Amino acid sequence: MKQSPVQPPRRKKKGLKPSDIQRNIERMSNELQRSMERMGNEMQRNMERMGSEMQRNMERMGADIHRARQAVGTAMSPTTASAAPVQRGRRSLDKKNLALRVATGMSLALITIFTVYHSVTAFTIEAMLLVGVGIVEFCGLAQRKGLSPSAPLGVVAGTVVLAAHAWAPTQYLGNIVAITVVLTMICFLFRRAPQGGLIEPHFIDGVATIYSFLYVAWLFGFALLMRRLEGTVMLGSLEVDAGAAYVYMLIITVAFSDIGCFAFGKAFGRYPLAPKISPGKTVEGSLGGLFTCVVCAWLLGDWVHLAPQWSLLYGVGVGIAGQLGDLWESAMKRDVGCKDSGRMLLGHGGVLDRFDSYFFAAPFAYLLIIWFMYP
């Protein structure tokens, strides 16, 4: 008879008793409570530390503000010794700039008076030098806008235009200027690329170059035409060419217009004239400059044998034209984002800055004299 294999004894499964579950729950709750207490203590310590730090920062800020107020009050005090050197420095700098400006203006005025009185040739040589620098300055302004005008070509063309105004018969002036413009176009038609290689036309650069000598040389050339006018006038016991007298009248009236604009604008300026072009110019300054120009032209009119009504018309026209020329040059500088066109004339800036009014005033003065005043 077979015996059945012996089965190993089965182990009884141990189940969780209710008492064990209760103890586990109590232990977990105790651990959670202790954790919450630790977190609460840490948060309390952090808040206390942050509060103390904020209090110290506020105290330091209050101390800094107090010291700053004391420093400002000391600086604003009229009896402070430290403010005196700053004021003296500013005043000395202003006096230095004013002295430099006056010295440059007087030197240029004396040279111009001599060249205008001497002859047409002497005045033309001075004009060629100034116009050449002005064309270079204009090309520099154009380069700020990404253009590449040819300053040497502009100077050559400007010299030709000035020479025509000085010595060529007046009936051929238009033809000479037109031929100069066409030749400049042809030069830019066959201009090579900056990197070399193939010939590439540069339309905008050519336009900028043509504009440079038309704006500077052609407009200023009317002063040379004025100097060529024949006749004589008496300045006391001194006999002066009529052309030289007309040029002197132009220079003086424009100069007094600029002085009047500055003086009246400084004293009474309130309403801006063209804030987007030149924020410093005011309506009151413009009217004051126009007034001084008219008075100056009326006083000088008798010297050049102008009737009072023509002298007044001359003053009004030259005053308005000169201010428009100043605004136009200011608009160019505003467009390219610079204050001065150059640095040649110490205290004044560049040639364009100093002679911008004459570029518009000279054509008007010459045409007015030729059409209505010149015998």
3-state SS of the chain? CCCCCCCCCCCCCCCCCHHHHHHHHHHHHHHHHHHHHHHHHHHHHHHHHHHHHHHHHHHHHHHHHHHHHHHHHHHHCCCCCCHHHHHHHHHHHHHHHHHHHHHHHHHHHHHHHHHHHHCHHHHHHHHHHHHHHHHHHHHHHHHCCCCCCCHHHHHHHHHHHHHHHHHCCHHHHHHHHHHHHHHHHHHHHCCECCCCCCECCCHHHHHHHHHHHHHHHHHHHHHHHHHCCCCEEEECCEEEEHHHHHHHHHHHHHHHHHHHHHHHHHHHCCCEEECCCEEEEEHHHHHHHHHHHHHHHHHHHCCCCCCHHHHHHHHHHHHHHHHHHHHHHHHHHHHHCCCCCCCCECCCECHHHHHHHHHHHHHHHHHHHHHHHCC
Percent of the chain clearing pLDDT 70 (strictly above): 71
352 within 8 A of 326, measured Cβ to Cβ: no
Whole-angstrom distance, CA of residue 317 vs CA of residue 202: 38
Under a CB-based contact definition with an 8 Å cutoff, are residues 191 and 200 in contact?
A: yes
Query: Count of CB atoms within 10 A of residue 185's CB?
Result: 15
Other Cβ atoms within 10 Å of 20 Cβ, number: 10
pLDDT 10s per residue in the chain (375 long)? 445 555 555 555 455 566 666 676 677 767 766 766 676 666 667 666 766 666 666 666 666 655 655 554 444 444 333 333 434 444 444 556 667 777 777 888 899 999 999 999 999 999 999 999 999 999 999 999 888 899 999 999 999 999 999 999 999 999 999 999 999 999 888 776 555 545 555 788 899 999 999 999 999 999 999 999 988 887 767 788 889 999 999 999 999 999 999 899 988 888 989 888 888 899 999 999 999 999 999 999 888 878 888 899 999 999 999 999 999 999 999 998 888 887 777 666 788 988 999 999 999 999 998 887 766
Dihedrals φ, ψ of 192, to 5°? -80, 160
Residue 97, amino acid = N
Neighbours of 188 (CB within 10 A): 21
The structure tokens listed for 54 are 């904020």
Asked whether 230 and 242 are in contact (CB, 8 A), the reply is yes
CB 272 within 8 A of CB 282: yes
